[in-house]
Amino acid sequence: MEQQKRYGHFDDQHREYVITDPQTPWPWINYLGNEDFFSLISNTAGGYSFYKDAKFRRITRYRYNNVPMDNGGRYFYIKDGDTVWNPGWKPCKTPLDFYECRHGMSYTRITGKKNGVEASVLFFVPLKKWCEVQKLTLKNESKEVKQLKLFSFEEWCLWNAATDMENFQRNFSTGEVEIEGSTIYHKTEYRERRNHYAFYHVNAPIQGFDTDRETFVGLYNEFADPQAVMEGKPRNSHAHGWSPIASHYIEVTLQPGESKDFVFLLGYIENEQDEKFEALQVINKKKAHALIAELDTTEKVDKAFAELCALWDNLLNIYKVRTGNDKLDRMVNIWNQYQCMVTFNFSRSASFFESGVGRGMGFRDSNQDLVGFVHQIPPRARQRIIDIASTQFPDGGCYHQYQPLTKRGNNDIGGGFNDDPCWLIFGTVAYIKETGDFSILDEMVPFDNQPGTEVTLFEHLKISMNHVINNLGPHLLPLIGRADWNDCLNLNCFSWDPNESFQTTENVSEGTKAESLMIAGLFVVTGKDYVALCKKLGKTDEAARMQKAVDAMIAAVKKDGWDGEWYLRAYDFYGRKIGSNECDEAKIFIESQGWCTMAEIGAEDGMVAKSLDSCKKYLECEHGMVLNNPAFSKYIYEYGEISSYPEGYKENAGIFCHNNPWVIIGECLAGRGNDAWSHYAKILPSYVEEKYQTLHKVEPYVNCQMVAGKDAFKPGEGKNSWLTGTAAWMWYTVSEFILGIKPDYDGIRIDPCLPETATDYTVNRKFREADYEITIHPNGQQKGVKSIVLDGKNVDGTVIPYAPGKHVVEVTM
């Protein structure tokens, strides 16, 4: 394969990805914000902001699937004589003398140069503040005096991102703004039920403004050539209805060598009901003034930025590895952890593939995401577990999703995904192992958010396990319900109607015959965890009860879940095998190989090794392991959405990166370090970055949900970047199973599984009140810890017993 064009490179020292060509094969984005106020920003400053919920509190407008792609965002237009340009190249696309976009940890810095002027914009959301800062620095690098005309630009969304793009008969009449000094306030619908508004401010006097889009842009112009900008004349327009925007106009004179900073603030404010107005129709701006005052100088902004950077220093100090392999170290120490934080915050709601209106926080997704994040901010993971469990039903079933703003189960999406309950165990156990905080199990947690229904979280875990036991099919394997982890394996759905969604349409029959081997494996893995937890709590009867159920499940898999060379995937509505050599297509699926090998079902009979070998033989290709093989070539209505995708895409034989780690963990448990590593490196972004920037298309610094598989038209093309369980699973896999540093109730278990080429490495791991420096000497071994020396003393077994303080650990394999 010849070297592909490169659009950027990693800068590990600054923890940045540096994009040097604005014409990336797809917008390469970053996320700003850590708690309430969030923004998406592309490498050309496209994207949008929202408060908490990308559907219900969308602050700026964004048009997905636009032409050209990624049109609209926060733009600065600089008019220098007859030349109009943007530091991020778009939307004017005036050729720049220099362009650079640095995506860092919760910030992005975009720099452009044209005709002796440098414009550099730092975008970030300060900690605990509801605003996006845009610090623009203009510098005259020429020998002449520069007279520049600067126009800012934001377009307001009318809050509900869904109705904003469909209810025009109303929308074109509701838009309202107020202008006060250098601040433009967006107060659409504030006169009625809303108690929130937004504003766009700059810390400098302005010489004009615009708030009506058509007046600013012109009816027949575009973002690339707004009339006001092209003519160098703001219109001072007031929006009434139509589409409100915010644009400041500033005349800037720069002497040779001179530079000036401007702080632009995009803010969000909520007021109490009885404090909404200052006068009739005049919004109460007190809180806006206060927020502005906190960030109205370069010094204050720089301080807020330093605080944000310090947060990331701390977060990334908790687990740090030095292997000498930069490609591995940068993913483990920086980008994988960063992506985990983003998936934890956003679940699957807002990316450049998720519109922010369709999906909230997933029950299964969020439980997985928190495993990638729990070591960083455990209290937030704790709260998340309680929020998720609060949407559960008394029988253990769950809403598939909930809305972050209301924290209520989302009725539009429904439930009945029978794997969902098990994930609560997965998330909770990870939290307790990290923190040692068993008290979470005593928290009183309601069902379906109904006050008065509270039981302990432990009880929720118990009914989660019971939900599987109470829903077994003819082979004593778990009934799949609407689907399992694979949302597209809809075995009870039978849809011939193109107008219905596979995800929500009524199942033909709830409790029929369709059974899932993926849930079987998941049940055994989480069941073992649950048993261990019960023992830890002294609940021996409950431990014994569940051990019996786990043993029964193992027996059922061995009896009716094995196909000879691999684990079956499922039984369909009629009780016929899915994922069997007997099938015409899709003879083997990855999910059941992953979960049943992680559960080590039949390891003693060689089943695990055979299954792992079959993954290599049938699923593996240049870019990773595909989900099923061969791909479905036609729609099979008993199977649902899975066979609706063309070959090689998404759930039909795409490389669903999310489940590759399951097999990799299976490999690690089996001690096959070479195989584990070769699977891992294939989907590790830094390795892909080096080889396939053009083919892969999407951001090379994070994992994507799906890479087109070997049966696709263009194998290797990535899609659905950023918001994917892949992040947490890659992290879990590399941190705990490959590098082998695994939190446990009483300490840290050390059990690496490495390629035989691995050399000595050191992990610095903060754990509760302790700080470990762990050096591993692999000695060419793939698996097996021979000795552990803790602070100079030999340790029996593989768990370093927890004790606060600093410790040095030497591990020999």
Residue 365 in the binding site for ligand NOJ (CB under 6 A):
yes
Are 767 and 407 spatial neighbours (Cβ–Cβ below 8 Å)? no
**First CA to last CA distance, the chain:** 37
Q: Which two tokens stand for residue 14?
A: 């600054």
Distance, in Å, from the CA atom of 570 to the CA atom of 516, rounded to the nearest integer, reads 4
From 357-365, 438-446, 497-505, 678-686, span contacting ligand NOJ (CB under 6 A): 357-365
In terms of CB distance, is 37 or 363 closer to ligand BGC? 363
Kindly identify the residues of this chain, within the stretch 295-354, that bind ligand NOJ according to CB under 6 A. 348
Distance, in Å, from the CA atom of 136 to the CA atom of 120, rounded to the nearest integer, reads 6
Distance, in Å, from the CA atom of 657 to the CA atom of 626, rounded to the nearest integer, reads 8
Kindly identify the residues of this chain, within the stretch 470-509, that bind ligand BGC according to CB under 6 A. 487-488, 503
In terms of CB distance, is 542 or 641 closer to ligand BGC? 641
> Residue 608 carries which side chain, given as an amino acid letter?
V
Residue 485 in the binding site for ligand NOJ (CB under 6 A):
yes
Least Cβ distance, residue 226 to ligand BGC (angstroms):
37
Q: Nearest 10 degrees: CA dihedral of 21, 23, 24, 26?
A: 160
Least Cβ distance, residue 362 to ligand NOJ (angstroms):
5
Least Cβ distance, residue 133 to ligand BGC (angstroms):
33
> Of 196, 213, 364, 742, which lies in the binding site for ligand NOJ, with binding defined by CB under 6 A?
364
Distance, in Å, from the CA atom of 39 to the CA atom of 50, rounded to the nearest integer, reads 6
Pick the catalytic residue: 80, 365, 487, 711?
Answer: 487
The partner in contact with residue 427, picked from ligand BGC, ligand NOJ, none with C-beta cut-offs of 5 to 8 angstroms by kind, is none
Find the residue with minimal CB distance to ligand BGC: 487
Distance, in Å, from the CA atom of 770 to the CA atom of 765, rounded to the nearest integer, reads 8
Are 270 and 196 spatial neighbours (Cβ–Cβ below 8 Å)? yes
The partner in contact with residue 365, picked from ligand BGC, ligand NOJ, none with C-beta cut-offs of 5 to 8 angstroms by kind, is ligand NOJ
Kindly identify the residues of this chain, within the stretch 400-459, that bind ligand BGC according to CB under 6 A. none
In terms of CB distance, is 248 or 359 closer to ligand BGC? 359
Q: Which two tokens stand for residue 771?
A: 């700080």
Least Cβ distance, residue 359 to ligand BGC (angstroms):
6
CB count within 10 Å of CB 622 equals: 13
82 is catalytic: no
Tell me the β-bridge partners of 146.
254
> Of 178, 651, 689, 736, which lies in the binding site for ligand BGC, with binding defined by CB under 6 A?
651
Strand, coil or helix: 389: helix
Residue 362 in the binding site for ligand NOJ (CB under 6 A):
yes
The partner in contact with residue 362, picked from ligand NOJ, ligand BGC, none with C-beta cut-offs of 5 to 8 angstroms by kind, is ligand NOJ
In terms of CB distance, is 50 or 645 closer to ligand NOJ? 645
Distance, in Å, from the CA atom of 336 to the CA atom of 343, rounded to the nearest integer, reads 11
Phi then psi for 312, rounded to 5 degrees? -70, -35
Least Cβ distance, residue 704 to ligand BGC (angstroms):
12
Kindly identify the residues of this chain, within the stretch 340-369, that bind ligand BGC according to CB under 6 A. 359
In terms of CB distance, is 364 or 467 closer to ligand NOJ? 364
The partner in contact with residue 364, picked from ligand BGC, ligand NOJ, none with C-beta cut-offs of 5 to 8 angstroms by kind, is ligand NOJ
Least Cβ distance, residue 416 to ligand BGC (angstroms):
13
Residues across the chain:
813
* Cis peptide bond upstream of 126, omega within 30: no
Residue 644 in the binding site for ligand BGC (CB under 6 A):
no
- Which DSSP string do the residues of 670-731 spell out, in sequence order? TT-HHHHHHHHHHH-HHHHHHH-HHHH-S-TTS-EEEE--TTSSSTT-EEEESSSTHHHHHH
Residue 742 in the binding site for ligand BGC (CB under 6 A):
no
Q: Which two tokens stand for residue 710?
A: 């070997």
Which residue in 20, 172, 27 sits closest to 91, CA to CA? 27
Could you give the residue numbers annotated as active site? 487
Residues forming contacts to ligand BGC in the complex (CB under 6 A) are: 359, 487-488, 503, 641, 650-651
Residues forming contacts to ligand NOJ in the complex (CB under 6 A) are: 348, 362, 364-365, 485-488, 651
